[in-house]
């Protein structure tokens, strides 16, 4: 009836001997632990002890030994609980490690957009910025260099040196004005004329250097304004008075608005004794005004002609002598000046030769149709005195004799054109 203790122990759960098959379960790539060797060793130890006792006493263990059986059962239960606890702890650690690795992988491998979606996402990201075009343009203007060559800018004197002054022009660096560029002529009271804090306009004559400083000039600005003023006077045909301050073999020199003017001998009323005109005042007109080449040529003769222009007006009937016959018309003396009677304004008829109409020295009556004070030119017309095309060619004397009456009819065409 009694059975061997070893045969009774082997079928129990969680215990096996060396001859029993070892089962291994796999979970994913991680193998579960085999049944613990400590439990097997403990089992063998109890068996060997009991066997040794039985063999020494030559007494086989009986099935009534309840105390030994209960002790073994408790020992197996404790070992099983330890085993299950260790397995659960290792599985929990494994799961936590796997979750941590997965989180790290998620951090190390961000979601990189594909190439086809990259452009779209870049555009979306740019659109999310608060982009203000006005602020962008304002930033560009702040960093734009101040002072381009030929630009007029205002500033304030901030420092004086022996060779020039420094002017705050609103840039990163002040503008520098050399002493020779501070004005026209020689400046004797330099410190008194340019005190600290003086506001003035200057002209940029040299752009920024490596330090961001520009070179400015008050003299260049004065000369520019002078050329502009002289050009307007010349365009209007206005006459001016000048003081002769020098002479050379070619003529006389004078100053106009800080500019050096020249009067050729050929443009003087008395060109033979031109040296006697030194320190005298002459009324002159402009012949050439060229700021680029700095040429300013004046004429006393042209001034006399323009003075004659002041007594002339459009539609006025004049009488003069033919000075010259050219292929394009006649030059008529108007008393100190001359007018051009162009062939297109001579008659409404057909002309084979100009000399068939007038010759040099002949007295002619004509209407003034053009007055150009700047060029000193007067345009004349006799075709308006005709009652029919070509009448001047057939009845020239009749047209000239009735010129006053005929001119009154034609003058209505010039009303409001002065």
Structure confidence by residue, pLDDT tens digits, 101-115: 555 455 444 554 555
Better-predicted residue by pLDDT, 302 or 95: 302
Q: Are 147 and 204 in contact (CB under 8 A)?
A: yes
Cα separation of the two ends of the chain: 157
CATH number for the domain that contains residue 394? 2.40.50.140
Residue 122 lies in a domain: no
Q: In 3D, which of 364, 377, 303 has the Cα closest to residue 330?
A: 364
Residue 188: its pLDDT value, please? 81
User: What's the mean pLDDT when you consider all of the chain?
Assistant: 75
Residue 400: its pLDDT value, please? 93
Mean pLDDT of 156-179: 88
Distances from the Cα of 376 to the Cα of 39, 136, 282, 296, angstroms: 134, 55, 18, 17
Phi and psi of 88, rounded to 5°? -65, -40
318 and 402 inside one domain = yes
Number of domains in the chain: 4
Residue 118 lies in a domain: no
> In the numeric block, which tokens belong to residue 156?
């304030």
Alpha carbon of residue 101 to chain centroid: 56
- Is 5 strand, coil or helix? helix
Mean pLDDT of 333-342: 86
258 and 176 inside one domain = no
Residue 416: its pLDDT value, please? 61
State what percent of residues in the chain have pLDDT above 70: 65
Better-predicted residue by pLDDT, 396 or 43: 396
What is the rounded CA–CA span in Å between residue 418 and residue 412? 12
- Over the stretch 190-230, which tens digit does the pLDDT of each residue have? 888 899 999 999 999 887 777 778 899 999 999 999 999 99
What is the rounded CA–CA span in Å between residue 215 and residue 381? 57
49 and 89 inside one domain = yes
Which residue's structure tokens are 């690795």? 101
Burial class (CB in 10 A: 0-12, 13-18, 19+), 257: middle
255 and 290 inside one domain = yes
Residue 107 lies in a domain: no
294 and 316 inside one domain = no
Mean pLDDT of 374-382: 86
Q: Are 299 and 278 in contact (CB under 8 A)?
A: no
Q: Are 363 and 321 in contact (CB under 8 A)?
A: yes
Q: Is 209 left (phi over 0), alpha (psi -120 to 50) or beta?
A: beta
What is the rounded CA–CA span in Å between residue 318 and residue 314? 11
Strand partners, 187: none
What is the rounded CA–CA span in Å between residue 156 and residue 198? 5
252 and 341 inside one domain = no
325 and 406 inside one domain = yes
Better-predicted residue by pLDDT, 234 or 13: 234
Q: Are 40 and 17 in contact (CB under 8 A)?
A: yes
- pTM score, two decimals? 0.51
Distances from the Cα of 256 to the Cα of 166, 243, 279, 282, angstroms: 30, 9, 14, 12
Mean pLDDT of 9-36: 46
What is the rounded CA–CA span in Å between residue 50 and residue 46? 6
400 and 355 inside one domain = yes
- H helix and E strand count, the chain: 11, 17
89 and 62 inside one domain = yes
Distances from the Cα of 20 to the Cα of 8, 9, 41, 50, angstroms: 15, 13, 14, 22
Interhelix angle 37-57/66-108, rounded to 10 degrees, is: 170
What is the rounded CA–CA span in Å between residue 286 and residue 256? 11
Residue 369 lies in a domain: yes
What is the rounded CA–CA span in Å between residue 224 and residue 243? 22
End position of a domain, from candidates 304, 325, 350: 304
Residue 173 lies in a domain: yes
Residue 84: its pLDDT value, please? 55
Residue 360 lies in a domain: yes
296 and 319 inside one domain = no
Domain that holds residue 294: 237-304
pLDDT band at 141 (very low <50, low <70, confident <90, very high): low
Residue 229 lies in a domain: no
State what percent of residues in the chain have pLDDT above 90: 34
What is the rounded CA–CA span in Å between residue 397 and residue 367? 16
**Residue 270, C-beta contacts closer than 8 angstroms, at least 6 positions apart:** 277
pLDDT band at 362 (very low <50, low <70, confident <90, very high): very high
Residue 104 lies in a domain: no
- Over the stretch 225-282, which tens digit does the pLDDT of each residue have? 999 999 998 888 789 999 999 999 999 999 998 899 999 999 998 888 899 999 999 9
Residue 310: its pLDDT value, please? 80
End position of a domain, from candidates 220, 253, 284: 220
pLDDT band at 132 (very low <50, low <70, confident <90, very high): low
316 and 403 inside one domain = yes
What is the rounded CA–CA span in Å between residue 329 and residue 345? 9
Mean pLDDT of 38-65: 46
322 and 388 inside one domain = yes
């Amino acid at each position: 009836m009694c059975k061997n203790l070893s045969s009774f122990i082997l079928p129990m759960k969680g215990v096996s001997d060396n001859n029993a098959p070892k089962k291994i379960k796999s979970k994913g790539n991680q193998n579960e632990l085999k049944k613990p060797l400590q439990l097997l060793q403990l089992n063998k130890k109890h068996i060997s002890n009991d066997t040794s006792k039985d063999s020494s006493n030559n007494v086989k263990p009986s099935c009534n030994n309840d105390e030994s059986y209960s002790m073994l059962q408790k020992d197996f239960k404790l070992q099983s609980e330890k085993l299950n606890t260790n397995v659960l702890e290792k599985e929990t650690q494994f799961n936590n490690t796997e979750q941590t690795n997965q989180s790290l992988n998620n951090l190390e491998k961000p979601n990189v957009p594909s190439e086809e979606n990259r452009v779209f996402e870049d555009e979306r990201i740019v659109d999310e910025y608060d982009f203000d075009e006005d602020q962008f343009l304002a930033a560009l203007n702040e960093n734009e260099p101040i002072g381009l060559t030929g630009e007029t800018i205002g500033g304030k004197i901030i420092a004086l040196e022996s060779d020039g002054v420094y002017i705050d022009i609103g840039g990163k660096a002040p503008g520098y004005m050399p002493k020779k560029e501070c004005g026209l002529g020689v400046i004797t009271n330099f410190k008194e004329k340019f005190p600290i804090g003086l506001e003035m306009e200057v002209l940029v004559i040299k752009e920024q250097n490596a330090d961001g400083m520009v070179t400015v000039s008050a003299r260049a600005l004065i000369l520019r304004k002078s050329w502009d003023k002289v050009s307007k006077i010349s365009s209007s045909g206005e006459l001016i008075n000048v003081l002769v301050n020098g002479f050379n073999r070619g003529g006389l020199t004078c100053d106009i608005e800080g500019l050096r003017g020249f009067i050729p001998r050929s443009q003087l009323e008395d060109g033979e004794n031109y040296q006697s005109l030194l320190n005298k005042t002459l009324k002159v007109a402009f012949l050439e005004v060229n700021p680029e080449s700095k040429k300013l040529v004046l004429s006393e003769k042209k001034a006399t002609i323009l003075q004659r222009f002041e007594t002339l007006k459009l539609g006025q009937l004049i009488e003069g002598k033919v000075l010259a016959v050219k292929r394009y018309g006649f030059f008529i003396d108007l008393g100190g000046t001359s007018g051009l009677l162009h062939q297109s304004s001579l008659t409404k008829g057909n002309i084979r030769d100009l000399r068939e109409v007038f010759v040099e020295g002949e007295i002619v009556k004509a209407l003034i149709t053009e007055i150009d004070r700047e060029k000193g030119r007067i345009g004349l017309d006799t075709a308006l005195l005709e009652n029919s095309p070509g009448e001047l060619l057939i009845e020239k004397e009749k047209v000239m004799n009735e010129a006053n009456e005929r001119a009154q009819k034609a003058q209505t065409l010039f009303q409001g054109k002065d």
